[in-house]
């Protein structure tokens, strides 16, 4: 399965698309990082792929 992740631009913490999609907007889990991550930060191509295969990610 293709793994889709987003890397925080502020601290480099990697967050899975699964987490982003379920939260839509979330504070970066990185220690001491206040950056806000959004599902829409993912490239459109990756968002489309994720949504097309969402059932595979719901484990
Ligand atoms: Zn961060």
Q: What are phi and psi of 31, to 5 degrees?
A: -60, 120
Query: Where are the extended beta strands (E) located within 1-59?
Result: 5-7, 14-16, 25-27, 36-38
Give distance in angstroms: CA of 31 to centre of ligand 1. Answer: 8
pLDDT band at 57 (very low <50, low <70, confident <90, very high): confident
Give distance in angstroms: CA of 42 to centre of ligand 1. Answer: 15
Model-level pTM? 0.83
Give distance in angstroms: CA of 26 to centre of ligand 1. Answer: 10
**Tens digits of per-residue pLDDT, 38-53?**
999 999 999 999 999 9
Give distance in angstroms: CA of 27 to centre of ligand 1. Answer: 8
């Amino acid at each position: 399965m293709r793994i889709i992740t987003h890397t925080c631009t502020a601290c480099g913490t990697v967050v899975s698309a699964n987490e982003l999609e379920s939260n839509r907007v979330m504070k970066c889990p990185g220690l001491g990082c206040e950056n806000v991550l959004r599902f829409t930060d993912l490239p459109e191509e990756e968002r489309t792929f994720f949504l097309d295969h969402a059932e595979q990610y719901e484990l």
